[in-house]
Amino acid sequence: MTDRYAVIGNPIDHSKSPLIHGLFAKAADQDMQYSTLLGETSPGGFARAVDAFRAEGGSGMNVTVPFKTDAFAYATELSPDAQLAGAVNALKFEDGRVLGQNFDGIGLVRDVQLNLGLPIAGRRVLVLGAGGATRGALLPLARAGANTIVIANRTSEKARALAQDFTPHAKGVTVQGCGLDALDDQVFDIVFNATSASLGAEMPVISPSVFAPGALAYDLVYGKGLTPFLRLARDAGRSRVVDGVGMLVEQAAEAFEWWRGVRPDTREVITRLTVPLV
């Protein structure tokens, strides 16, 4: 019997998840079907859509914007990553239970450490933005052994509040929050742009001096080419600039393994989806 999976979002036509999971399933010889599901943004719309999918025999779902917090509320059991993030990007339906996970940060760390070959342990890390993407990344970054994590946001109070919330989970990692205007005298080994600025070809207001020599500049947005953030780093002489396609594929691989018990190879899929940074 073919197992059914889907990704739910609104809009959803742009999603690469069906392509990614289709390639994984073919390579791993898995009997599964993966489709898109347009969720309703009206109150209760997400729950109705998921209920219907489960009633039709659905086994699991990926969740994208704007439903990650809805999925958090819908799940009956949450992983530590999902609890800290306050958001869920993958669901598994098992014996009447709804298990919720957040693989975004795990996928990000795997991409940096395995695909890009850069250990996070001992590094000074800057994360721009204090939204859901940042919340999902913090625990995996701390587990990877970052020396310091600084969260910088246009609204400094939001960044400081997130740092305070996260500190009890950091286990020896220094976590700080500040405004974007407080970064001028600091340098970092890894800089993540977790803001939405690149979606509109905008630039977070930061100085190129934040990039240490040899620093990695990583934009979580993917498929947009050389975003203003990545161009800032490249113009500052930093050659290690990447977008979030590896994170996208690695988080999908985490969900696939969680559902199917098989770890897919991600290299060819990443190569297929990569857009030149020009």
Residue 236 pLDDT exceeds 90:
yes
Are 75 and 88 within 8 A, CB to CB? yes
Residue 200 pLDDT exceeds 90:
no
CATH code at 144? 3.40.50.720
Residues 194 and 124 in one domain: yes
Tokens of 186: 């600091």
Residues 142 and 204 in one domain: yes
Residues 16 and 55 in one domain: yes
Residues 71 and 161 in one domain: no
Residues 81 and 182 in one domain: no
Stretch 193-202: mean pLDDT? 82
Catalytic annotation, pick one of 68, 92, 171, 224: 68
Residues 6 or more apart in contact with residue 74 via CB below 8 angstroms: 46, 47, 50, 88, 91, 98, 100
> What confidence score (pLDDT) does residue 247 get?
97
Please check whether residue 187 lies inside any domain of the structure. Answer: yes
Please check whether residue 108 lies inside any domain of the structure. Answer: no
Residues 199 and 141 in one domain: yes
- Is the dihedral angle over the CA atoms 214, 170, 101, 193 positive or is it negative? negative
> What confidence score (pLDDT) does residue 60 get?
98
Please check whether residue 134 lies inside any domain of the structure. Answer: yes
> What confidence score (pLDDT) does residue 98 get?
98
Residues 127 and 200 in one domain: yes
- Is the dihedral angle over the CA atoms 169, 67, 254, 158 positive or is it negative? negative
Tally the C-alpha atoms within 13 A of residue 191's C-alpha that lie toward its C-beta: 27
CATH code at 64? 3.40.50.10860
Q: How many domains does the chain have?
A: 2
Residues 165 and 255 in one domain: no
Residues 61 and 36 in one domain: yes
Residues 6 or more apart in contact with residue 21 via CB below 8 angstroms: 5, 32, 34, 252, 256
> What confidence score (pLDDT) does residue 1 get?
82
Alpha-carbon distance 23 to 123, whole Å?
Answer: 34
Alpha-carbon distance 168 to 117, whole Å?
Answer: 29
Q: What percent of the chain has pLDDT over 70?
A: 100
Read off the pLDDT of residues 63-85 as tens digits, 9 standing for 90 and up: 998 999 999 999 999 999 999 89
Q: Is 16 a catalytic residue?
A: no
Tokens of 159: 């960044």
> What confidence score (pLDDT) does residue 76 get?
98
Residue 196 pLDDT exceeds 90:
no
> What confidence score (pLDDT) does residue 90 get?
98
> How far are the Cα atoms of 153, 180, 210 from residue 160, in angstroms, in the given order?
9, 12, 19
Residue 91 pLDDT exceeds 90:
yes
Residue 56 pLDDT exceeds 90:
yes
Residues 20 and 69 in one domain: yes
What confidence category does residue 197 fall into, taking pLDDT thresholds of 50, 70 and 90?
confident
Residues 263 and 229 in one domain: no
Please check whether residue 133 lies inside any domain of the structure. Answer: yes
**Mean pLDDT over all residues of the chain?**
95
Are 68 and 88 within 8 A, CB to CB? yes
Burial letters 177-213, b for 16+ CB under 10 A, else e? bbbbeebeebebbbbbbbbebbeeeeebebeeebbbe
Please check whether residue 112 lies inside any domain of the structure. Answer: no
> How far are the Cα atoms of 104, 178, 183, 238 from residue 122, in angstroms, in the given order?
22, 21, 20, 20
Please check whether residue 13 lies inside any domain of the structure. Answer: yes
**CA-closest candidate to residue 205, choices 227, 232, 185:** 232
Strand, coil or helix: 21: helix
Please check whether residue 198 lies inside any domain of the structure. Answer: yes
Residues 254 and 170 in one domain: no
Read off the pLDDT of residues 126-159 as tens digits, 9 standing for 90 and up: 999 998 889 999 999 999 999 999 999 999 999 9
Which range of residues forms the domain containing residue 223? 117-242
Please check whether residue 182 lies inside any domain of the structure. Answer: yes
Are 87 and 136 within 8 A, CB to CB? yes
